[in-house]
Amino acid sequence: MFRSLENQKEKNEQRAKQLFNFKNLIRQLHEVVQTFPDRRKGSNISKSLKDAALGAFSIFFTQSPSFLSYQKSIQELRGENNATNLFGVEEILSENHIRNLLDVVSPHYLNPMFDYIFDGLNENGYLQMFRSYNNNLLMPFDGTEYHSSHAIKCDYCRKVEHKEGVLTYSHSALTPVLVKPGLNKVISLPPEHISPQDGHDKQDCENAAFKRWIKSHKEKYKGLGVTCTGDDLYSKNPVCDMLLRDGFDFIFVCKETSHKTLYEYLDFLKEDIQEVTIRRWQGKKWMVETYRFYNGVPLRDGKDALEVKWCELVIKTEGSDKVKYRNTWVTNFEITEKNVKYIVVDARAHWKIENENNNTLKTKGYHLEHNFGHGKKNLSNLLMTFNLLAFLFHTVLDLFDENYNLLRSKLPTRKTFFHSIRTLTTFLCFDDWEYMTEWMIQGLKKKHKPPSWDTS
């Protein structure tokens, strides 16, 4: 039996390495971009939409805004280039051509690429590493802004008018991921852009975008034991009720300021609230964690109010009354003395969507807030989605590409890694991704002698 399990594990590993090697990922991306709608008519269609899409992706994967211009120079000098050899670009297009061709493409056309990676991870057992309390998959949701300007705008910008009459145009998106407490990787899922919706007069909001995401993707995720996490914005009766109907669990922050009825009930029931205290050694001192919980309070006023379970965590240094941390949540999980700690650990893992996803995209080399091109319709949203997809490519390559994993372990930061890629692809031309990473590894292994200076 154990031998059979080992054999199956080996088969899954080999299959995953085949699915998620760079060549196969790019081949799959080729198939996805071929579905992009081409709105051009007449004879002016000499430039390929596919080349525009692959060229755009190459910029985000290498995190080099000048990648394509460098490849044009290499092509002139050597008769070949890295855009073609690595990404399959047949003709390197100008930035204007790329922007104009891609402006009409909705970012949702990239969803199948996210699905391909998720399905491959699931089918080969790799989602198991992300399972947490109650064997669930934690799926945090949070909105992040990636464009804000008083002048640059498009049809899909959100518009805010300030008191002084100044208008701000912005783009934001929900960027759901899979996380696990203690695991430093996240799996990016298809984003949902917070943009004005056709046929709606009201400005779009994070809550509405969340409902759209669940409606669009529930068939894929609802049978997998998914627990959605989020801040106080999500702990609303319609949202929680929708999730339960669609087969999802939830753990959401629940603030007293926005849930008056719930906390009035808790105040009335305060003698019945259960409490668990845990001492934990942290560095040079003991911390005291106090968990309080109650099963069965209404989320809002009214007969149709959803009944939820509530819990609280307060952390203090032993011997001190100063609160180091305090937060409260609601969930549909029955809470007990044995599981309250694990439910709270899952709830607190929500911060990973900010620290290990959104913050990484903004500050660790992906330049999420950089204006790569705004366009008049979909361009800004589409380019942001390409950036997110590039981040996902890097994540799965780190998991399954041995050369990539070795390089990331030797190059201390993402910025250093991207700097190396930019430098090499600017001056050298490689046959393929595997050859380039092998070349980099050999370079790291070589002993470089310092120059001997002749001072005579």
Q: Which domains does the chain have, with CATH numbers?
A: 13-107+374-443 (no CATH), 125-361 (3.90.350.10)
Q: pLDDT tens, 19-61?
A: 899 999 999 999 999 999 987 776 567 889 999 999 999 999 9
- pTM, full prediction: 0.90
pLDDT at 456: 40
Closest CA to 330 of 271, 265, 407, 278: 265
Burial of 190 (0-12, 13-18, 19+ CB in 10 A): buried
The answer, yes or no, to whether residue 366 has pLDDT greater than 80, is no
Amino acid identity, position 218: K
Residues 6+ apart with CB under 8 A from 296: 307, 308, 309
Residues 6+ apart with CB under 8 A from 343: 133, 251, 311, 329, 331, 333, 335
The answer, yes or no, to whether residue 225 has pLDDT greater than 60, is yes
- Torsion angles phi and psi, residue 37, rounded to 5: -75, 135
Q: pLDDT tens, 145-183?
A: 888 888 888 888 888 877 777 888 888 999 999 999 988
Closest CA to 170 of 427, 430, 374, 32: 374
pLDDT at 167: 87
Q: pLDDT tens, 286-326?
A: 999 999 999 999 999 998 999 999 999 999 999 999 999 99
The answer, yes or no, to whether residue 363 has pLDDT greater than 80, is no
Please tell me the distance from the alpha carbon of residue 385 to that of residue 383, in angstroms, as a whole number. Answer: 5
Range with top average pLDDT, 11-15, 62-66, 105-109, 353-357:
105-109
